[in-house]
A and B are shown apart, each in its own frame.
Chain A
């Protein structure tokens, strides 16, 4: 995971909630796009591919590429199609996780 993110908020909002990514506490803006919020928080990669284990992160931000997959509540979901809610427990999908999306 990187610590310095190249992604900046232009008009940061104040209402933040706590979520966890791979066991690490993150304070993210409530209701904002989850993939965007994770990028700003310095999260990268989001997952590793089931085929070669290569690192991946968001590519299209519009729900088409499935490269932003993360695991929440046992389900593999597209981070770019979700909003930040309180207490999300996010992990990287298991190596074969993409299949049950």
Chain B
């Protein structure tokens, strides 16, 4: 059994910076992360990536090394390939590593579980060859794999980033099919004041667009009625711009229309969540230090609301200060003093966010997909099915499970939960907060009997005493 002052779940920017700050303040820290190396998805594999990969991925990626280096501290134990499947009493964490179940006990827990791609249900999105844009980036970071002849579909700065990286890798995308409209851009302008404070992000965005133009990558903006054709594999993307229909033949389609907090762990311990209209997703409730309704559990980073890697690292540090204060390793004035400076940087990091959220809203056609579109990839439940359940009196996602198994497959609703809630809310004309979300219960990830059997039983007794 593992014991620590602080258990950090997730070794992305929030988790890494929190761990480092807490360790420096004298706390023992245990990091549990699913991946074979630190970095999270944004800095995935950053310690091992080759020079060629780094050139393609750029400085924002290699910056992650400042955080991974911080983990080399005598107070930090980092368990890699550790898959958390249960959190109990706000202090106990059960996980699997190397095919063996194990238990960790901590005085505090920090959930730094990051983001997931926003589900983007389109006709044909379950075909082989269709992946999230994030998946393509992970392939590049983790394995140095680039995909040739891909079409990028959706909206948001990440699409431009991936496209420019693909250009640098020598495998330019065939096209960008973008769903935001000029109307969105006009609406976003009222946030420009804030965005100017976040001007480095805007300059980066404009540079990327310029690079894509120079590389001759066609961009289709304001796309509607998007579908992916294919039988055994993706064969083409079809869409409409105004009245004209387009078809681009391709065997790889990369989808992205924003990322959303990965709330599975927080929900599994009944931390309340509220609908965030600006970000179009549910976010957990927490105080200015990241403390949740479960007093020993803190949340930081994109899992607490999307703000990006730099904001995540700052929020992680702020949480670590309060955690250290609570465990009597840091005085209140010292906590507040350090936090003041961090909060200033955090505000600056978040400044461009409202502009980005307004300029690149989610694709309306994937929020309200055609009836025959699969919503639940695992159980193959369609949008029409969900609407039919609503017609039969189904008000919430948990009831929908009983009607048609949506969210009951192995992904536990990670890629259908938001869609189910949004379709039900729209059909029933009730708010997202009243509609709610799937009730998440452990195990968070499947555990095998063998993994449980390999768990040290005496450890369980120790904990219970």
A-to-B contact residues, CB < 8 Å: 2, 6-12, 32-33, 36-37, 39-40, 44-46, 49, 51-52, 54-67, 69, 75, 81, 83, 98, 100-101
Report Cα–Cα, A39/B36, bound state, in Å: 20
A-B contact pairs, 19 of them (CB 8 A): A7-B146, A8-B148, A10-B56, A12-B144, A33-B139, A39-B139, A44-B233, A45-B232, A55-B127, A57-B128, A59-B377, A59-B415, A61-B131, A61-B135, A61-B139, A61-B142, A65-B414, A67-B377, A98-B378
What number of residue pairs across chains A and B have CB atoms under 8 A from each other? 128
Q: What sequence of 0s and 1s flags, for each residue 3-36 of chain B, a beta carbon within 8 Å of any chain A beta carbon?
A: 0000000000000000000000000000000101
> CB-CB < 8 A to B144: which residues of A?
9-12
Report Cα–Cα, A75/B116, bound state, in Å: 26
Is B134 within 8 A of A62, CB to CB? yes
Report Cα–Cα, A100/B410, bound state, in Å: 10
> CB-CB < 8 A to A62: which residues of B?
41, 116, 134-135, 138
Q: What sequence of 0s and 1s flags, for each residue 73-89 of chain B, a beta carbon within 8 Å of any chain A beta carbon?
A: 00000000001000000
Report Cα–Cα, A57/B252, bound state, in Å: 11
- Number of interface residues, chain B, beta carbon within 8 A: 51
> CB-CB < 8 A to A52: which residues of B?
380
Q: Chain A nearest CB: distance from B136 CB in Å?
A: 8
Q: Chain B nearest CB: distance from A51 CB in Å?
A: 4
B-to-A contact residues, CB < 8 Å: 34, 36, 41, 50, 52-53, 56, 83, 116-117, 126-132, 134-135, 138-140, 142-150, 169, 171, 232-233, 251-252, 262, 377-380, 409-411, 414-415, 445-446, 448, 450
Report Cα–Cα, A66/B301, bound state, in Å: 24
- Among A37, A57, A65, A101, max chain B CB count under 10 A is at A65
Report Cα–Cα, A50/B373, bound state, in Å: 18
Report Cα–Cα, A60/B256, bound state, in Å: 11
Q: Chain A nearest CB: distance from B232 CB in Å?
A: 5
Report Cα–Cα, A64/B380, bound state, in Å: 16
Residue of A nearest to B99 (CB): A75
> CB-CB < 8 A to B147: which residues of A?
6-8
> CB-CB < 8 A to A54: which residues of B?
126, 380
Main secondary structure of the interface of B (DSSP, over half): loop
Report Cα–Cα, A37/B379, bound state, in Å: 27
- Contact (A55, B232) CB under 8 Å given A9-B144, A64-B116: yes
> CB-CB < 8 A to B53: which residues of A?
10-11
Report Cα–Cα, A69/B409, bound state, in Å: 12
Q: Chain B nearest CB: distance from A77 CB in Å?
A: 9
Report Cα–Cα, A55/B129, bound state, in Å: 10
Q: Chain B nearest CB: distance from A58 CB in Å?
A: 6
Is B414 within 8 A of A64, CB to CB? yes
Q: Chain A nearest CB: distance from B221 CB in Å?
A: 25
- Contact (A6, B252) CB under 8 Å given A36-B142, A62-B135: yes
Report Cα–Cα, A49/B147, bound state, in Å: 25
> CB-CB < 8 A to B233: which residues of A?
2, 44-45, 55
By Cβ-Cβ distance, the 10 closest A-B pairs, closest first, are A57-B128, A61-B135, A36-B143, A66-B410, A61-B138, A101-B446, A10-B144, A51-B380, A45-B128, A6-B148
Residue of A nearest to B34 (CB): A63
Q: Chain A nearest CB: distance from B324 CB in Å?
A: 30
Q: Chain B nearest CB: distance from A42 CB in Å?
A: 11
Report Cα–Cα, A75/B447, bound state, in Å: 11
Q: A39-B139, A40-B145, A62-B134 are in contact. List 20 more A-B contacts (CB 8 A).
A: A6-B129, A6-B251, A7-B147, A10-B145, A11-B144, A32-B143, A36-B139, A45-B128, A52-B380, A55-B127, A60-B131, A61-B138, A65-B411, A65-B415, A66-B410, A67-B377, A83-B36, A100-B448, A101-B410, A101-B446
